[in-house]
Amino acid sequence: MGILERISEIEREISRTQKNKATEYHLGVLKAKLAKYRAQLMEPSKKSEKGEGFDVLKSGDARVALIGFPSVGKSTLLSTLTKTESECASYEFTTLTCIPGVIDYKGANIQLLDLPGIIEGASQGKGRGRQVIAVARTADLVLMMLDASKQDVQRDLLEKELESVGIRLNKPKPNIYFKVKKGGGIAFNSTCALTKIDEKMVQMILHEYKIFNAEVLFREDCTADELIDVISANRVYLPCLYVYNKIDQISIEEVDRVARKPNSIVVSCNLFLNLDYLLEVLWEYLALIRVYTKKPGQAPDFNDCLILRRGVTVEHVCHAIHRSLVGAFKYALVWGTSTKYSPQRVGLNHVMDDEDVIQVVKK
Ligand SMILES: Nc1nc2c(ncn2[C@@H]2O[C@H](COP(=O)(O)OP(=O)(O)OP(=O)(O)O)[C@@H](O)[C@H]2O)c(=O)[nH]1
Ligand SMILES: [K+]
Ligand SMILES: [Mg+2]
């Protein structure tokens, strides 16, 4: 039996099995089996499958992958937001490879990747689905483009496709500490009450992975699926922005309804509607910040900034300026919203804000 058949057999069995106390362990083991087969499926088996035209070099400050059904307007968006032209046409599967473009926004270079459309079954190898998904895994954000004039089935289908290959959208990593050991059996602990899983199920799932010695510590009330995610270790957790295109085709009431969905924004590439707002939201989701540097006695250079991630400290900033700077660091002066006073003397642990100005004082 091939892997695909095994997968669909397990899926059928899961959907056939009633959820209750008596079946819950059996279901847990089935889910672990399913995760194992799916992992095998996604391993790049043949060299040719890696796909010519898909190994685009990562560049710039962040990478955004455009995922969507055929003809929703992905290439139109790339051609509108970047200097790159990607062929747009009314027929499906116009784009056949990965086309990179660069969005120049607030001093940052954001790499936008146009990709072939994907359809149901993509994760199992339909169309260029697997190559597209492999690229999505390397992104900092998934921009899921949808046709606003169509029902939301596309969104559900694509989410399922990505979910089935271990891409988790807008979800935090499960807070479970997990470490395989050489001996000592399975040490299981939790720091909170567990309502969705118990020690027996944890053991059964681990045994399914042939893990007999490990330390497992639940720091939140996680499910069996979340444990499987942690064991599988090949999951990626990405922010996802749902972009509904072609709002020129629907009523204003409908636009209003769609725009209120979580993590969603509405645009029309053809009429250039709301594209500025799209960039603003994209910036927020990528959690990028600008930090300006300044030399003593001189004004900061506002034409040149460091692009960093939200949450970075002065230490990160020093590394970004020069790798030897941390060694010579005495203190820094920071002007901006991250400090109480401007300027304020801060140490290496100080967390920076967007548009802060920093002056590093050396020993
Ligand atoms: N009405 C309307 N049509 C649009 C809009 N944006 C794109 N289109 C049209 O949608 C069609 C498909 O556009 P593409 O950019 O080729 O779509 P794609 O998602 O790249 O398609 P594939 O590469 O085939 O997956 C073209 O005929 C576009 O002109 C829009 O905002 N409104
Ligand atoms: K098209
Ligand atoms: Mg295209």
Helix spans in the chain (H): 3-16, 24-42, 74-81, 129-137, 153-164, 199-208, 224-232, 252-259, 275-286, 314-321, 325-328
Residues within 5 Å of ion ligand 3 by Cβ? 74-75, 94-95
Which tokens belong to 63? 């990478």
In the three-class reduction of DSSP (H, G, I as helix; E, B as strand; rest coil), residue 27 is classed as helix
Neighbouring-strand partners of residue 290: 307
Torsion over CA of 30, 120, 78 and 97, rounded to 10 degrees? 90
CB-ligand 1 contact for 79 (6 Å cutoff): no
ipTM strictly over 0.90?
A: yes
pTM value?
0.89
Cα 354 to Cα 239: distance, rounded to the nearest angstrom: 19
Could you tell me the distance, in angstroms and rounded to a whole number, from the CA of residue 141 to the centre of ligand 2?
Answer: 22
pLDDT of residue 38: 80
pLDDT of residue 144: 97
End-to-end CA distance of the chain: 68
pLDDT of residue 225: 94
pLDDT in tens, 39-90: 777 665 554 455 678 888 899 999 999 999 999 999 999 999 999 999 999 9
pLDDT of residue 125: 75
Amino acid identity at 247: I
Cis peptide before 100 (omega within 30 of 0): no
Could you tell me the distance, in angstroms and rounded to a whole number, from the CA of residue 168 to the centre of ligand 1?
Answer: 27
Cα 196 to Cα 24: distance, rounded to the nearest angstrom: 10
Closest residue by Cα to atom 21, ligand 1, is 71
CB-ligand 1 contact for 128 (6 Å cutoff): no
CB 129 within 8 A of CB 70: no
pLDDT of residue 42: 66
CB-ligand 1 contact for 127 (6 Å cutoff): no
Residues in CB range of 62: below 8 A, 6 or more apart: 108, 110, 111, 140, 141, 286, 288
CB 206 within 8 A of CB 180: no
pLDDT of residue 211: 96
Look at the block and give the residue holding tokens 């937001």.
Answer: 81
pLDDT in tens, 168-205: 999 999 999 999 999 999 999 999 999 999 999 999 99
Residues in CB range of 221: below 8 A, 6 or more apart: 192, 193, 194, 195, 196
pLDDT of residue 4: 81
pLDDT of residue 198: 93
CB-ligand 1 contact for 144 (6 Å cutoff): no
CB 13 within 8 A of CB 37: no
DSSP characters over 134-174: HHHHT-SEEEEEEETTS-THHHHHHHHHHHHTTEEES-PPP
pLDDT of residue 165: 86
Ligand 1 nearest atom to the CA of residue 92, by list position: 24
CB-ligand 1 contact for 249 (6 Å cutoff): yes
CB-ligand 1 contact for 153 (6 Å cutoff): no
CB-ligand 1 contact for 355 (6 Å cutoff): no
- Residues of the chain where predicted confidence (pLDDT) is lower than 50: 47-48
